[in-house]
A and B are shown apart, each in its own frame.
Chain A
């Protein structure tokens, strides 16, 4: 996992005066499961389409194994795509769909037959050769779309929100399926989604994007536990984001109360943003915690209770397996390493310091 397989350099792209990608730099390593994560309109799909060859960037270049492929047509690239709505050819059988790329490469009939059988087995749909795409369920069409792409033995598989149209249960099953496929094939996956859970479950690397900028690149753990800024913290999981003042290293003041933390290097008396995950807040009896509050709302969520705690004008979200009724007075306590300190964003765009936390 060290070679730069794909290198996007200084990519900008706008549609009708709308800047979708702004000087984006990103590399993808061989054998990596990389996820582009962000809300709709953040530029993640455009990035994927630029790699696939369906869009040409306005500026910048795309390198594949060191060679410039910016202007190479899609049919000449060693990548294959699984489209959002599968894009199976409706006038062809499943076997014809899977054979499409192989026939164009003029492979022998017996090779094609073997490949179809192998691919269908891989996606657990043996015996579906003669069926038509519209007779298959969404999940099955999805698998065929993957089979159709991988028989061509691409070096990279691009997946554009492939699970978006499936229902929850199927989506979860397919997540494991995709991880298994990735491991069996040993190729690079570039995955686009707006679903943070999907991203956290499957990825080696997550690239969080917003408004055409990369907000953070890191492992799922890094992105979740150490969000680079308020956007990342807010987008990935529930979180309490509140302004604070860094008194000195390892001490932050929030809502007038002083909390111990583990972050250093933010200077002294500097304004910062503070993230505390709802599950990291302990509710304790009055007097035992750092800051006082009153429970305003309690909802049973199955695995835990979700409570709103009003404290000095800020409403904390707290997840806990312990039940606290409404209107009861409590204290809040947070372990120092559960407090995440972030730089204040410099502009409205929240253009983040593009820090790649992967080891080069």
Chain B
């Protein structure tokens, strides 16, 4: 099967990935370390120490950590329920993971404005039930909610996949050897589903860390995340060098988070 002629059909993709993946990344790094005149500088990357940028980065990290944890807390039981309630590839899975995507995600995020705002749907219901209304719109909790809402499927899907791949007889064997439901979950299902959990965590953490859309829509334009600052540098200020500098910082955080999760994966798997 090792025929070098046949492997040539990979060539178009290889060229494509060099042209549109590798070279653009090199360009970001190039812009990050040069000034407007093309000379070498570390000032762009160093911009992160400015209070505004640092505050945005810290807030991004905090919000994305919280939303990742919440996603995990919601998704894990959901994945367990799904493996018990549905057959694989059933329409329920499509209902959860595919169908919502066909309503534009910006619109869906935007709809939370209507639900959460002062006289919105949720408060309407709360008041109707005689409960205290609450106001989280344009505040960090609203952004966390938006993140959890947007990225929850990315947590559920890998966990569901890894849980449903566990051999039923392993669970039966645990029960057979005297483990109750909780013991089985804790000693067998959880450790075996860790790869799914790890990939879920990265798939939620990275987009949460780098979003500028959710903070724009649910933060009322008052809350700046690191994504918002980069977006403004590129589209409004046209300061590509500064934008590239902060992008490199962001990439460093992405790589760090991947190394951490990959390490956990190896230790437990």
Are A100 and B169 in touch, CB under 8 angstroms?
no
Q: CA of A90 to CA of B187 in the docked complex: distance in angstroms?
A: 12
List the A side residues contacting B191 at CB < 8 Å.
91
Q: For the complex, is A54 an interface residue (Cβ under 8 Å from B)?
A: yes
Contact of A105 among B170, B172, B175, B178 (CB under 8 A): B178
- Contact (A83, B169) CB under 8 Å given A91-B191, A91-B269, A104-B183: yes
Are A74 and B172 in touch, CB under 8 angstroms?
yes
| A-to-B contact residues, CB < 8 Å | 52-54, 73-75, 79-81, 83-85, 87-91, 100-101, 104-105, 148-149, 152
Interface residue range, chain B: 10 to 19
Q: B180-202 interface mask toward A, CB cutoff 8 Å, 1 = contact, 0 = none?
A: 10010001100110000000000
List the B side residues contacting A148 at CB < 8 Å.
177
Q: B194-212 interface mask toward A, CB cutoff 8 Å, 1 = contact, 0 = none?
A: 0000000000000000000
Are B175 and A73 in touch, CB under 8 angstroms?
yes
Are B176 and A74 in touch, CB under 8 angstroms?
yes
Q: CA of A192 to CA of B254 in the docked complex: distance in angstroms?
A: 53
Residue of A nearest to B180 (CB): A75
Q: CA of A85 to CA of B269 in the docked complex: distance in angstroms?
A: 21
List the A side residues contacting B269 at CB < 8 Å.
91
Contact of B170 among A73, A74, A79, A89 (CB under 8 A): A89
List the B side residues contacting A149 at CB < 8 Å.
176-177
List the B side residues contacting A89 at CB < 8 Å.
170, 173-174, 188, 192
List the B side residues contacting A52 at CB < 8 Å.
172, 176
- Contact (A84, B175) CB under 8 Å given A89-B188, A100-B187, A104-B183: no
Q: How far is the CB of A217 from chain B (nearest CB, A)?
A: 26
Are B177 and A101 in touch, CB under 8 angstroms?
yes
Q: For the complex, is B179 an interface residue (Cβ under 8 Å from A)?
A: yes
List the A side residues contacting B192 at CB < 8 Å.
89-91
Contact of A87 among B169, B178, B180, B183 (CB under 8 A): B169
Q: How far is the CB of A115 from chain B (nearest CB, A)?
A: 13
Q: CA of A85 to CA of B169 in the docked complex: distance in angstroms?
A: 8
Contact of A152 among B167, B172, B177 (CB under 8 A): B177
Are A104 and B176 in touch, CB under 8 angstroms?
no
* Count of inter-chain pairs, beta carbons less than 8 A: 64
Are A101 and B178 in touch, CB under 8 angstroms?
yes
Q: CA of A175 to CA of B238 in the docked complex: distance in angstroms?
A: 78
Q: How far is the CB of A25 from chain B (nearest CB, A)?
A: 25
Are A104 and B177 in touch, CB under 8 angstroms?
yes
List the A side residues contacting B178 at CB < 8 Å.
75, 101, 104-105, 152
Contact of A85 among B167, B183, B188 (CB under 8 A): B167
Are A87 and B167 in touch, CB under 8 angstroms?
yes
Contact of A100 among B167, B179, B180, B268 (CB under 8 A): B179
19 A-B pairs besides A54-B176, A75-B178, A100-B179 with CB distance below 8 A are A52-B176, A54-B172, A73-B175, A73-B180, A74-B176, A75-B176, A80-B176, A80-B177, A81-B172, A87-B167, A87-B169, A88-B173, A90-B192, A100-B187, A101-B178, A104-B177, A105-B178, A149-B176, A152-B178
Q: CA of A324 to CA of B13 in the docked complex: distance in angstroms?
A: 69
List the A side residues contacting B179 at CB < 8 Å.
75, 100-101, 104
- Contact (A83, B175) CB under 8 Å given A89-B188, A91-B191, A104-B183: no
Residue of A nearest to B192 (CB): A91
Q: CA of A149 to CA of B173 in the docked complex: distance in angstroms?
A: 9
Q: How far is the CB of A153 from chain B (nearest CB, A)?
A: 12
